[in-house]
Amino acid sequence: MCGIVGYVGEKEKKEILLDGLQELEYRGYDSAGIAIIENQQLQHFKAIGKLQNLRDKTKSYESEGFGVSIGHTRWATHGKPTELNAHPHLGEYSFVVHNGIIENYQELKTELQAKGVTFLSQTDTETIVHLFENYYQQNSNSFEAFTRTIEKLDGAYATLLVTEADPDTIYFAKNGSPMLIGFEGKDVYFASSDTPIIGKATEVYYLEDGEYGYAKDGEVTLFDANGEKSFSKKALATDKAMAQKDGYRFFMEKEIYEQTQVMNDTMMGRVLDDRVEFEELSGDLFKNINAIKICACGTSYHSALAGAYLLERIAKIPCHVEIASEFRYKEPLLRDDTLFITISQSGETADTLEALKMAKRAGLKSLSICNVDNSSIVRESDKAILTRAGIEKGVASTKAFATQTMVLWMLTLYVAQRKETINKERLQEELDAMRHTPKTLLVSDKLHERLHRLSKRYLHGHGFFFIGRDLFFPLALEGALKLKEISYLHAEGYPAGEMKHGPIALADSELFTVALMPKTLHYDKIKSNVEELSARDATILAISPEPFELADDFVQTTHDEHPMLEFFEMMVVTQLLALEVSIRLGNDVDMPRNLAKSVTVE
Ligand code: M6R
The best mutation among 297, 353, 403, 482 to test binding of ligand 1, ranked by most ligand atoms within 8 Å of the C-beta, falls on 297
Kindly give the distance from the C-alpha atom of residue 258 to the centroid of ligand 1, in angstroms, as a whole number. Answer: 18
CA-CA distance, 184 to 4, in Å (whole number)?
19
- pLDDT value, residue 279: 87
pLDDT bracket for residue 134 (50, 70, 90): very high
Assess whether pLDDT exceeds 90 at residue 452: yes
Please give the span between the terminal C-alpha atoms of the chain, in angstroms, as a whole number. Answer: 29
Bridge partners of 367, per DSSP, are 341, 383
The best mutation among 252, 373, 397 to test binding of ligand 1, ranked by most ligand atoms within 8 Å of the C-beta, falls on 397
CA-CA distance, 204 to 233, in Å (whole number)?
5
- pLDDT value, residue 165: 94
Mean pLDDT of all residues in 446-472: 94
Assess whether pLDDT exceeds 70 at residue 1: no
Distance of CA 442 to the CA centre of its chain: 13
Q: Please indicate whether residue 439 is annotated as part of the active site.
A: no
2, 295, 297, 319: which one is catalytic? 2
Phi-psi region of 104 (alpha: psi -120 to 50; beta: other; left: phi over 0): alpha
50, 419, 519, 597: which one is catalytic? 597
Kindly give the distance from the C-alpha atom of residue 370 to the centroid of ligand 1, in angstroms, as a whole number. Answer: 11
Tell which residue, 580, 586, 578, has the closest CA to residue 449.
580
- pLDDT value, residue 194: 84
For the segment 278-295, what is each residue's pLDDT rounded down to a tens digit? 988 976 899 999 999 999
Using DSSP's 3-state secondary structure scheme, residue 578 falls into helix
- pLDDT value, residue 101: 82
For the segment 54-104, what is each residue's pLDDT rounded down to a tens digit? 999 999 888 888 899 999 998 776 667 787 888 898 899 999 999 888 889
For the segment 364-422, what is each residue's pLDDT rounded down to a tens digit? 999 999 998 778 899 999 999 999 998 898 999 999 999 999 999 999 999 999 999 99
For the segment 223-274, what is each residue's pLDDT rounded down to a tens digit? 999 999 999 998 887 777 777 788 899 999 999 999 998 999 899 889 999 9
pTM: 0.77
pLDDT mean across residues, the chain: 93
Residues with CB under 6 A from ligand 1: 297-300, 344-346, 349, 352, 395-397, 485, 595, 598-599
The best mutation among 250, 252, 299, 399 to test binding of ligand 1, ranked by most ligand atoms within 8 Å of the C-beta, falls on 299
Assess whether pLDDT exceeds 90 at residue 168: yes
Kindly give the distance from the C-alpha atom of residue 396 to the centroid of ligand 1, in angstroms, as a whole number. Answer: 8
Most confident of 122-136, 172-186, 306-320: 306-320
- pLDDT value, residue 282: 75
For the segment 507-553, what is each residue's pLDDT rounded down to a tens digit? 888 889 999 999 999 999 999 999 999 999 999 999 999 999 999 99
Assess whether pLDDT exceeds 90 at residue 577: yes
pLDDT bracket for residue 327 (50, 70, 90): very high
Q: Please indicate whether residue 2 is annotated as part of the active site.
A: yes
Assess whether pLDDT exceeds 90 at residue 39: no
Percent of the chain at pLDDT exceeding 70: 99
Kindly give the distance from the C-alpha atom of residue 276 to the centroid of ligand 1, in angstroms, as a whole number. Answer: 27
Q: Count other C-beta atoms under 10 Å from residue 364's C-beta.
A: 20
What 183-187 contacts at long range (C-beta under 8 Å, 24+ apart), as own/partner pairs, is 183/220, 183/233, 185/218, 186/9, 186/10, 186/217, 186/218, 187/7, 187/8, 187/9, 187/10, 187/11, 187/218
Kindly give the distance from the C-alpha atom of residue 509 to the centroid of ligand 1, in angstroms, as a whole number. Answer: 32
CB 181 within 8 A of CB 215: yes
- pLDDT value, residue 89: 87
Using DSSP's 3-state secondary structure scheme, residue 183 falls into strand
- pLDDT value, residue 78: 66
What distances in angstroms separate CA 205 from CA 1, 182, 183, 192, 398, one per listed residue? 22, 7, 8, 12, 30
CA-CA distance, 432 to 82, in Å (whole number)?
33
Buried/exposed 534-558: b ≥16 CB within 10 Å, e otherwise: beeebbbbbbbbeebeebebbbebe
